[in-house]
Amino acid sequence: MCLSLGQKTSDVKPEGCPASLKDNVYQDGDMVITAFLPLYTYQTAPHSEGPESTDIYPRIHPTNYQFAMALIFAVEEINRNPLLLPNTSLGYGFYTVGLSQDETVLTFLIWLTGQTSFIPNYTCRREENSIAVITGTTWEISSLIGTFLGLYKYPQLSFGPFETNLNDSMKFPSLYQMTTKDSSLALGMVSLMVYFRWNWVGLVISDDEKGVHFVSELIGEMEKNSVCVAFLEMIPISHVFSMTYDDVYHSPVVVNSVKVIIIYGDTDSSLGVLFRRWEYVSPWRIWITTSQWEVTTAMRHFILDSFHGTLIFSQHHGEISAFKDFVKTVTPSKYPEDFFLAKLWENYFDCALSDTSCKALENCSFRGSLEWLPWYHFDTAMSDGSYHVYNAVYAVAHTLHKMLMQQVDMQTVKNGERMKFPPWKLNHVLKNIQFKNPTGDSVTLNPSKNIHIDYDILNFWNFPQGLGYKVKIGTFSPYFPPGQQLSLYEDRIEWSTGVTETPISVCSESCGPGFRKSLQEGKAVCCFDCSLCPENEISNGTDVDQCVSCPDDQYANTERTHCFQKAVTFLTYENPLGMTLAGMALCFSTLSASVLGVFIKHQKSPVVKANNRTLSYILLVSLTFCFLCCLLFIGQPNTATCILQQITFGVVFTVAVSTVLAKTITVVLAFKITAPGRRMRGLLKSGTPRFIIPICTIIQIIICGIWLGTSPPFVEIDTHSEHSQIIIVCNKGSVTAFYCVLGYLWALSIGSFTVAFLARKLPDTFNEAKFLTFSMLVFCSVWVTFLPVYHSTKGEVMVAVEVFSILASSTGLLGCIFFPKCYIIIMRPVKLSLKATRDRVPWK
């Protein structure tokens, strides 16, 4: 007699239980669906304490057993439905796949052949009416089994995470994946990071093909959104048995200070084992993961554990409320042949198994219920994997129903015989099947069809013992426009223990307005220093890469956050400085005109006559215009005033200085010649020194003409000299020409000073040589001081310096030459004795 026998490792064999009674569960039906489920997972031994322990063993776990419960629940629900597969019953069978590939292959071959000693092309298995196989949760299990089933084109439905490799129709011609590609998962996670402004994130990924594919997508999305990888820890699949003390304490998860970490992998993998070790280290973090990572089983229960506040991305699906009611009714007495269920009762309700039958004792059914188990052992809500198992059963049922209704290759039922379908006949219907499950969700098995997946974002709450919840806090819908894909209810979020506000996970604090980012050499782009924007540049945002220059007519405030309009400035009459200078110019010009009036009124007086009346009049008139030309420098400049102020200044001052030169030469000619001949005396009498004035003036006019012809003065709008002002000034045009004008005046003044100095001691009652000397000394001193001061100032102050120099030098000439004479004319008229002076006027 051929029996369906199998074997398991010594780690999972219960003492006293025959191996033949415990390797599978079978419920007969007209057509049977078989499932290969990973009902065992890695656990740490109960006596293992501390992270240095490596005592790990396989143990059946209710979270994995929920897959079997979903299979049973779906089959029983379909059998009760009179509209689906009428007059036809479904049966089920499920096997546990091993913890290694060898055990998985062995279990499958036992099912395929019905015997433990394998004979080629010979089988005596009891499940001849099996028409489809369900596999999961890892792609390794599905691909191993699919390699064999593909030879027979046997329908295989995988409920594990979507795997691109399993879509190879040549290698797996009859394999169908119940899950769709989670290509938007990376985008959803990065959108969550951007929402909370987390740009410094750690990654802990299973080092397998799926993990590598996911991390490449994730890093790509992170780079697009300026989110940086703080560390990347790839956990090898074989790491579980080589785990050491250093793997726990020296892992980046423990030593790195990053606050947000993404986990991607299966709880049953070595990654899950590593995290169970970390429960002793308690690295408080904000974890972001998927529903494949079972937070409820990753850690032993604490009053408050390290996974409190975890954010979970779960593919959206309808809630099957009837499943919770079904869970309440599941007991060993209801399913007496189910060894795995009996083993759960033994583990969690201390119910011993019968040594002969490996069944739970009768009284065990009254001593427990799966709904009594705390969350960290069993969650009554249907998991994602169980939901896909549920849909897989319905996919097969709808396929059979369609084939029955169309009577495609259906064998005639005779004498109550069971209807039989060759399993390979299901493929042409199964691959195109589309239906709505009892929750209203659409289900399709077409892997080439691109279907957008909505994600529910769950927040794991872990409160005192037994109170653990997954609370929905938002959704991610990739088909919505960017910016509207993520929807969150922040007020529902419970962060990790001790965190009351939204945590911050950044490499560097944000640079506020007025600053720009300066990347740190050799580090990620998220690590930077904040540098104040350069002068006249601003940044009014956060974490800007470059500051923006203000327009020329605006300036940046001291905080470098805003540009303000610059004030237009020039030396105005309203300005106190401009008003003062204008007043002084008018006063001194009036004074100069008054002195001229005094001289005209007393033109016959000896003082006026003795000092060359005509030259005195010319000098006073030129000084009056010197004072008045200052007014050209005050007010808003324009092209006309810019030209006039420099040309007028140069010409008028040339007249004044050349007049002084003529006066000094006249004095020298009059008194320095001790024995004058008639010819020299004739030159003096004819007024020849007066020709010095037009000659010197014409030379200055020629210089000014060349200046105007080559590079004349023009209006300049200076936006850079002053931070907050636009200065309107007259640009000299040709600086060389300007200095030529000044240099020519300087030469005239030096000549006048020299001649006057030589004639300062000539005897005469009204000799003005001393006064001319002092006036030229003042004039030269003013303009020597002018040059360095002029070049050290800007704007209206620079103009004011030039105006002040004109006023000072003109006042020096007026005061030194004419005030002593006016004093004598007005205050000391007794000295004006014609007799005393008649013989001392050489040109009289």
Greater pLDDT, 244 or 502? 502
Q: What is the pLDDT of residue 660?
A: 81
- Return all residues near 19 (Cβ < 8 A) that are at least 6 apart: 5, 6, 7, 8, 13
Residue 328 has pLDDT above 80, yes or no: yes
Beta bridge partners of 206: 235
Residue 372 has pLDDT above 60, yes or no: yes
CA distance 789 to 797: 10
Q: What is the pLDDT of residue 16?
A: 46
Q: Which segment of 412-421, 490-499, 612-621 scores lowest on mean pLDDT?
A: 412-421
For the chain, helix, strand, coil in percent to 5 are 45, 15, 40
Residue 190 has pLDDT above 80, yes or no: yes
Residue 686 has pLDDT above 60, yes or no: no
Confidence at 415, pLDDT banded by 50, 70, 90: very low
Which position has the token pair 């001289």?
A: 599
Tell me the pairing of strands 31-37 and 90-96: parallel
Virtual torsion, Cα 254, 259, 260, 263, nearest 10 deg = 10
Q: What is the pLDDT of residue 684?
A: 54
Residue 47 has pLDDT above 50, yes or no: no
Within 13 Å, how many C-alpha atoms sit on residue 780's CB side? Answer: 15
- Return all residues near 476 (Cβ < 8 A) that are at least 6 apart: 184, 188, 191, 192, 313, 454, 455, 457, 485, 486, 487
CA distance 209 to 164: 10
Q: What is the pLDDT of residue 831?
A: 56
Residue 80 has pLDDT above 90, yes or no: yes
% of the chain at pLDDT higher than 70: 76
Greater pLDDT, 490 or 768? 490
Q: What is the pLDDT of residue 842?
A: 45
CA distance 183 to 450: 10
Q: Which segment of 38-52, 212-226, 448-462 scores lowest on mean pLDDT?
A: 38-52
Confidence at 204, pLDDT banded by 50, 70, 90: confident
- Mean pLDDT across 306-329: 85
Provide the 10 A C-beta neighbour count for residue 449.
Answer: 9
* Phi, psi of 43, rounded to the nearest 5 degrees: -135, 155
Greater pLDDT, 406 or 410? 406
Q: Residue 567 is inside which H or E element, if any? A: strand 567-569
Provide the 10 A C-beta neighbour count for residue 255.
Answer: 10
Whether the CB-CB separation of 511 and 528 falls below 8 Å is answered with yes
CA distance 478 to 452: 7
Q: What is the pLDDT of residue 116?
A: 60
Question: With 0-12 CB in 10 A as exposed, 13-18 as middle and 19+ as buried, what is 480?
Answer: middle
The 3-state secondary structure of 523-543 reads CCCCCEEEEECCCCEECCCCC
Most confident of the following: 33-47, 62-76, 307-321, 600-614: 62-76
Greater pLDDT, 648 or 109? 648
Q: Which segment of 613-622, 660-669, 766-775 scores lowest on mean pLDDT?
A: 766-775
Closest CA to 534 of 551, 525, 546, 552: 546
Closest CA to 37 of 13, 8, 71: 71
Beta bridge partners of 177: 158
Residue 572 has pLDDT above 90, yes or no: no
Sheet strands side by side (includes 90-96): 24-27, 90-96, 31-37, 130-135, 156-158, 175-177
Q: What is the pLDDT of residue 658?
A: 87
- Mean pLDDT across 38-51: 59
Which position has the token pair 């776990």?
A: 61
- Return all residues near 237 (Cβ < 8 A) that are at least 6 apart: 206, 207, 208, 269, 270
Amino acid present at 170: M
- Write down the H helix ranges in 257-312: 270-277, 295-298
Q: Considering the entire predicted model, what is its pTM?
A: 0.65
User: What are the DSSP calls for 450-463, one per residue?
Assistant: -----EEEEEEEE-
Q: Residue 58 is inside which H or E element, if any? A: strand 56-60
Question: With 0-12 CB in 10 A as exposed, 13-18 as middle and 19+ as buried, what is 623?
Answer: buried
Confidence at 44, pLDDT banded by 50, 70, 90: low
Provide the 10 A C-beta neighbour count for residue 381.
Answer: 16
Residue 476 has pLDDT above 90, yes or no: yes
- Mean pLDDT across 593-601: 87
The contacts found for 493-499 with CB under 8 angstroms, 24 or more apart, are 493/309, 493/311, 493/459, 494/308, 494/309, 494/459, 494/461, 495/286, 495/309, 496/284, 496/285, 496/286, 496/306, 496/308, 496/309, 497/284, 497/304, 497/308, 497/309, 498/284, 499/286, 499/309
CA distance 822 to 844: 21
Residue 262 has pLDDT above 80, yes or no: yes
- Mean pLDDT across 573-599: 89
Q: Which segment of 196-210, 337-351, 818-832 scores lowest on mean pLDDT?
A: 818-832
Whether the CB-CB separation of 211 and 187 falls below 8 Å is answered with no
Residue 31 has pLDDT above 60, yes or no: yes
- Mean pLDDT across 717-736: 83
- Return all residues near 749 (Cβ < 8 A) that are at least 6 apart: 657, 660, 776, 779, 780, 783
Average pLDDT, the chain: 78
- Mean pLDDT across 630-645: 88
Rg (CA), the chain: 53
Q: Which segment of 196-200, 242-246, 818-822 scores lowest on mean pLDDT?
A: 242-246
Whether the CB-CB separation of 237 and 207 falls below 8 Å is answered with yes
Provide the 10 A C-beta neighbour count for residue 755.
Answer: 25
What six digits make up the tokens of 291? 């529903």
Q: Which segment of 236-240, 440-444, 550-554 scores lowest on mean pLDDT?
A: 236-240
Whether the CB-CB separation of 334 and 25 falls below 8 Å is answered with no
Which position has the token pair 């052992």?
A: 377
Amino acid present at 181: K
Sheet strands side by side (includes 455-462): 228-236, 200-207, 260-264, 286-290, 311-315, 455-462, 468-476, 486-488
166-184 burial by CB neighbour count: b if 16+ within 10 A, else e?
beeeeebbbbbbbbbbbeb
- Mean pLDDT across 612-635: 87
- Mean pLDDT across 804-821: 84
Greater pLDDT, 550 or 787? 550
Confidence at 520, pLDDT banded by 50, 70, 90: confident
Residue 765 has pLDDT above 50, yes or no: no
CA distance 309 to 632: 78
Most confident of the following: 237-246, 385-394, 416-425: 385-394
CA distance 52 to 742: 93
Classified as helix, coil or strand, 63 is: helix
Which position has the token pair 């037994």?
A: 466
% of the chain at pLDDT higher than 90: 14
Q: Residue 438 is inside which H or E element, if any? A: none
Greater pLDDT, 345 or 532? 532
Q: What is the pLDDT of residue 38?
A: 86
User: What are the DSSP calls for 777-821, one per residue?
Assistant: HHHHHHHHHHHHHHHT--HHHHHHHHHHHHHHHHHHHHHHHHHHH
Give all domains of the chain, ordered by start, each with its CATH number: 19-180+319-444 (3.40.50.2300), 185-316+452-492 (3.40.50.2300), 515-565 (no CATH), 603-840 (1.20.1070)
Between the alpha carbon of residue 369 and those of residues 7, 129, 334, the distances in Å are 29, 33, 12
Tell me the pairing of strands 537-538 and 56-60: unpaired
Q: What is the DSSP letter of 413?
A: P
Q: What is the pLDDT of residue 675?
A: 47
Between the alpha carbon of residue 766 and those of residues 435, 612, 839, the distances in Å are 129, 11, 12
Q: What is the pLDDT of residue 449?
A: 55
Residue 295 has pLDDT above 60, yes or no: no
The 3-state secondary structure of 356-388 reads CCCCECHHHHHCCCHHHCCCCCCCCCCCHHHHH
Residue 766 has pLDDT above 50, yes or no: no
Provide the 10 A C-beta neighbour count for residue 574.
Answer: 7
Greater pLDDT, 57 or 746? 746
Question: With 0-12 CB in 10 A as exposed, 13-18 as middle and 19+ as buried, what is 746?
Answer: middle
Q: What is the pLDDT of residue 10?
A: 35
Sheet strands side by side (includes 725-731): 567-569, 725-731, 714-718
Q: What is the pLDDT of residue 58?
A: 65
Whether the CB-CB separation of 637 and 730 falls below 8 Å is answered with yes
Q: For the segment 156-172, what is each residue's pLDDT rounded down to a tens digit?
A: 999 888 887 888 888 89
Residue 600 has pLDDT above 70, yes or no: yes
- Mean pLDDT across 637-662: 87
Greater pLDDT, 522 or 362? 522
Q: What is the pLDDT of residue 398?
A: 93
- For the chain, give the longest Cα–Cα distance: 173
Classified as helix, coil or strand, 230 is: strand
Between the alpha carbon of residue 585 and those of residues 215, 629, 656, the distances in Å are 82, 8, 16
Within 13 Å, how many C-alpha atoms sit on residue 682's CB side? Answer: 3
Residue 269 has pLDDT above 80, yes or no: no
